[in-house]
Every structure is written in C-alpha cells, then in structure tokens.
Amino acid sequence: MPRAKLTVHLPEALWIHEIATAYPDTTFRVSSVLPGSDIAIGVIELAAPNPVPILAAIDDRRDIRDLELLWKHDETALLQVETANASLLAPIQQAGVPIETPFTVEDGVVTWELTTSADRLSTLGDTFDEHGIEYRIEYVHAVDARHAENPVTDRQLEVFLAALEAGYYDVPREATLTDVASSLGVTKSTCSDVLHRAESTIAHWFAEEHGHASYEQ
C-alpha cells in the first residue's frame, strides 16, 4: 500500500489559483472539504499579513456561491467557502482516492499526501493527465500495515515515553539512563536495549515519512 506526496498546479480557472497567485505570501490550509457533483464546500484557514483584502477578493469571485467568515484574529482567518467549480476534486473522485486533510495551497500549488492502492494512484495520475492538470510526485513509499498505526511496540512506546517524560531527551539532559531504568523497575541494560530499538524504529519511520530512502528494519 503506497503513500505518496504530490504537488499539483491548480487550474487557472479556479478561484483559489487566482487568489493564491495574486497573494503569494498567503497560506491556505484546507482543514476539511465536502466535494459534490457541481459544488465543493471547504473550511479554510487563511494566514496572511492582512487577510481583509484577500477575503474581499474571494467574495468578489463569480464562482464563489457563499463565503462565511467563521473567525478572524490578527493575521489568521477561518472561513467556509462554497464554490461552483469543483474541477480540481473531480479527478480525485473519479480515481476513487480519499482526500486527506489538512492540505495546503500556496502560490497556486496544492500539496497532497495520499494513502491508497497502487492501482488507484496510477489511475489518479492518468486522470490528472486527461484533465490537463500539471502535477509532480514528490515521493512514493510503501506503508507496512503492521506499522500504519504505531511504528513501535507497546513496550518500546512505554520506555520511550518514560524517558521523554523524565527529561532524558532534554537539552541539557535532565535524567540519565539509570534514572529511566529505575523509574521502570528494569535493569539499565534492558532499558538501553528497548530504548535503542524504539529510537531506531522511530528514526527510520520518520525518514520514510519525509521521503528519504527506504530502510529495512
């Protein structure tokens, strides 16, 4: 089961492409989205030095059916947008790939992380091509179902969290390995072995999540 990261260039006809490119220093963080056959509704967090003119520009768009400002504070605004143009979401629906949120849009480009089957991921690429949507795959790597929920064992997690809470990973270090072992009632060598395995698993998992070379456990 692959997990992929894609950067997709938004079609110019979309309202968010025009707004995002007109205000390139603005970050749009889509926290939820409800696609429909001819509309799409999304809750979007907008971060910009001055959100007011951006909100006005969105509201002026003809393809915006409804705009609700949920709250605003300083350089951040949360809004719910209903748009009549759902063309970007159509290929995803057609390929049967679930939309994962949150995702971000900056300067006309959306970044998506997707977990789906290899066949559906391939279909998504074909569908993007059919719709003339430019995209780039940043990485694809396999997700081991055994580690999809939690990459470490329960025991490794217990020891790791005990070390973290004790201050073993603080800078400067607030607890020694002996302190952690004592708090768990185990020998120093046992604590060291379990903690090392947890650290190794977490490090490899982190590297894979961020698109670096795949590592074997």
pLDDT digits (tens, 9 = 90+) for 181-199: 999 988 888 899 889 888 8
- Number of neighbours of residue 162 by Cβ within 10 angstroms: 19
DSSP-derived secondary structure for 24-50: TT-EEEEEEEEE-SS-EEEEEEEE-S-
pLDDT band for position 17 (50/70/90)?
very high
Residues 178 and 80 reside in one and the same domain? no
Tell me how far CA of residue 26 lies from CA of 90, 105, 111, 160, 211, in angstroms: 25, 9, 14, 38, 25
Structural domain of 193: 151-209
- Global pTM exceeds 0.75: no
Number of domains forming the structure of the chain: 2
* pLDDT (0 to 100) of residue 76: 92
Domain final position from 123, 143, 163? 143
Residues 24 and 61 reside in one and the same domain? yes
Residue 216: inside a domain, yes or no?
A: no
Domain final position from 143, 172, 189? 143
CB 159 within 8 A of CB 184: yes
Residue 72: inside a domain, yes or no?
A: yes
Residues 28 and 92 reside in one and the same domain? yes
Residues 186 and 101 reside in one and the same domain? no
Q: What is the pLDDT of residues 125-181, one digit of tens each?
A: 999 999 889 999 888 877 654 444 566 777 888 899 999 999 999 988 899 999 999
Query: ω before 24 within 30° of 0 (cis)?
Result: no
Domain final position from 119, 143, 167? 143
Q: What is the pLDDT of residues 73-109, one digit of tens each?
A: 888 999 999 998 877 888 888 899 988 888 999 999 9
Q: What is the pLDDT of residues 29-61, one digit of tens each?
A: 999 998 877 788 999 999 998 999 999 999 999
Residues 15 and 54 reside in one and the same domain? yes
